[in-house]
Structure 1
Amino acid sequence: MSLLKPEHLHALHNLPLAAKQAAEGLLHGAHLSRRRGAGLEFSQYRPYQPGDDLRRLDWRLAARSDRYYLRESEVDTSLVVHLVLDATASMNHQDSNGLSKLDYARLLCAALAYVATQQGDAVALTVLHPAGLHHLPPRADARQLPRLYHALESIQAAGRFPDAGTLAPLTARRQPALTVCVSDLYEEGQEMEQLFTRLRAASGEVLLLHVVARNELEFSYRGAVTFEDLETGRQLQLDADQQRRAWQQHMQQWLRTTAQQARTHGFDYYQLTTSEPLTATLREFLRRRSVV
């Protein structure tokens, strides 16, 4: 499964099947996050402490040993996984393999939704688009995945990042959740940083998945090239061979700064390259979900 790259999954032209194939190899042996507490499945005993619920005392054990112990159980700790997808025009940028950032992000969100659903979590989706927010409220029922797949398949990236008024409903209600933001983080000012900060305040945990194309990292263009900003339409002509080293240095500095700022604000930050297998990203998601 680790050899199944995003472009191969995208070539299936079947988002549910691609998401399933990307995720199932990692789900083998995975289990729900669990915490100890009052539940049905017995886990262990622990000594009684003042203030503990007396209803959980094992009176039979107390009668035999003259000591007081509580029965601890394990209960499932499901939560809301809120997927937030950037669908602005810059996500239309394609790697040399023809896979756009949006294609990669679409597969990634679908696979993450599949993983979360298999773990018993409710999944929500919000697509950030200048025309307005496309939002699917969190649900854990069997029909949520088809709804989510349909929404992802119909996405078209366009325009600039939504304004503050459009984004306001996204953070209006405080609801504990693991918010997973998928974006290339191209912004004019600090609009994304401000949104993620408000999301963290509203939900409590933000996992930021930064999507970068390999040809952006390597600047693999040759000769005279005309670049166009997909969101503003501005054009720039340059000699790619002459500018490659300066571009690479600038790109690496921007990535370091972006990661540092994200972590300073308390976000979990993870950089993704469109040509790499999705399994590493999914494994990171499962690792973060395994915390108590």
Structure 2
Amino acid sequence: MERNLERARIHFGGDTRGLLEGGRYALLHTRSLELDDLRPYVPGDDVRDIDWRATAREGDVLVKRFVTEKHHKILLVADAGRNMAALTPTGERKSDVAALVIGVVGLVAMDRSDEVALVYGDRTGSGRTPARRGETHLGGLVDRYRGVAAASREPSDIAVQLDYVAAGFKRRMVLVVISDEPEPGSELGARLRGLAGRHDVLWAMVEDQPAIGSADDELDGFDVGTGRLVLGGPFVGPRVVAAYRRAEAERRARLDAFLTECGVRGVRIAGAADLRRGMVSLLGDFAHAR
């Protein structure tokens, strides 16, 4: 199972400093052994924190102040349906890239001693793995997702997983949603605003391979959701390709505005080579959110 995290480390690197810090909620505060500074004693301070040497030297009672560590409970919400069998712009299977995203969150959480749980599924329902810490558990989350996504033949519908989370997870958490790019709409908006009111919601969107990429030698493809043929650029011609690209740019802009309006921070990831840029952007932005 640990090799699953190693795959993520190969593509992401080992430096996770500064990621997933801050946010609106610090769900668990623990005192580290790292000394911050000294300050005067006030009633109610733990007498065990008194620095007797500094007190004798300065003539005033001084107590040690330690660095406070903030830990989160993280919930990964991953689409394991048929959409994730499609390819990314780099030609990788989307479920493989999603597994790498899970692995990266695992690496960050392992370095921070955060607890991580997983919700996964498709249109027919959701499953879950409880929150725990540790390398074996975090590697197991990747393994579990890979197995479910490889076996699923059912359509994707991330709204089913979001409803499952809304009904079953009332405590404040950091939600990291992993799917393809959702279709904006009033129903999804209501779900996201409800979740964002209770949790910090981050969305890692694994990009689709373009339906029409060029007017040159592109081959025809098919939609994994419907099985329908998608004609390539040589068949439809350059004007249709150009119109498609304009429509795609407008769609992406609408989606970005929609997520911002819902209080969700999102990032697109095109493939394994894009993993570090995307996840640092997503988790780094979170580090500065208040």
TM range (shorter): 0.7 to 0.9
Which whole-Å CA distance do the structure 2 matches of 1:276 and 1:63 have between them?
58
In 2, distance between residues paired with 1:230 and 1:194? 27
State how far apart, in whole Å, the 2-side matches of 1:44 and 1:32 are. 25
Task: Determine which of 172, 177, 199 is the counterpart of 2:173.
Answer: 177
What's the counterpart of residue 131 of structure 1? 124
Matched residue type, 1:22: H
Q: Distance in 1 between matches of 2:218 and 2:55?
A: 83
With over 3 angstroms needed to count, the CA separation of the structure-2 counterparts of 1:96 and 1:74, relative to structure 1, is closer
* Alpha-carbon shift at residue 285 of structure 1 (Å): 4.8
**Structure 1 regions of 5+ residues with no counterpart?**
1-13
Q: Contact 1:213–1:274 (CA<8 Å) still a contact in 2?
A: no
- Aligned partner of 1:231 in structure 2 is 225
Determine helix, strand or coil for the equivalent of 1:219: coil
CA separation of 1:269 and 1:198: change in aligned 2, threshold 3 A: same
Match of 1:160 in 2: 156
| Residue pair 1:86, 1:128 contacting (<8 A) in 2 also | yes
What TM-score do you get using the length of structure 1 for normalisation? 0.75
- Residue of structure 1 in register with 2:258 after alignment: 261
1:199 to 195, 199, 204: 195
Instruction: Measure, in 2, the Cα distance between the counterparts of 1:32 and 1:259.
Output: 21
- Shift in Å, 1:220: 3.1
Unmatched 5+ stretches in structure 2: none
Normalising by the residue count of structure 2, what TM-score does the alignment of the two structures yield? Answer: 0.75
Cα shift readout 1:28-73 (whole Å, capped 9, x = no counterpart): x669959998654321134678xx7444785866787676765421
Deviation for aligned residue 1:275 = 6.4
Matched, 1:208 2:197: no
Deviation at 1:116, TM superposition (A): 1.5
- Please show how residues 1-292 of structure 1 align to structure 2 within 5 Å: 15-27=4-16, 33=21, 40-46=33-39, 53-55=44-46, 58=50, 71-95=64-88, 97-154=90-147, 155-156=149-150, 158-161=154-157, 167-172=162-167, 173-187=169-183, 189-202=185-198, 204-213=199-208, 215=210, 219-220=213-214, 222=216, 228-233=222-227, 239-274=236-271, 276-285=273-282, 287-288=284-285, 290-291=287-288
Q: CA deviation at 1:192?
A: 4.1
The 2-side partners of 1:151 and 1:72 are apart by: 42
Q: Which residue of 2 aligns with 1:11?
A: none
| Cα displacement (A) at 1:250 | 0.9
Change (3 A) 1:147 1:42: same
Q: Is the 8 A contact 2:19 2:283 kept in 1?
A: no
Is contact 1:133-1:167 (8 Å) kept?
Answer: no
Distance 1:47 1:210, change over 3 A: farther
Deviation (angstroms), 1:144: 0.7
Q: For 1:279 and 1:122, locate their aligned partners in 2 and report how far apart those are by CA, in whole Å.
A: 22
Of all paired residues, the percent bearing the same amino acid is 19
Residue 87 of structure 1 aligns with an amino acid whose one-letter code is A
Q: How many residues align?
A: 273
Q: Flag the 1:255–1:68 CA change in 2: closer, same or farther, 3 A.
A: farther
The Cα of 1:90 is off from its aligned counterpart by 2.6
CA deviation string 1:48-106 (max 9, x = no partner)? 78xx7444785866787676765421132121121111233333222465312222112
Change (3 A) 1:276 1:191: farther
Taking only aligned residues, the RMSD between alpha carbons, in angstroms, comes to: 3.7
Partners of 2:88 and 2:206 within 8 A in 1: no
Structure 1 residues 224, 110: CA separation in 2 closer, same or farther (over 3 Å shift)? closer
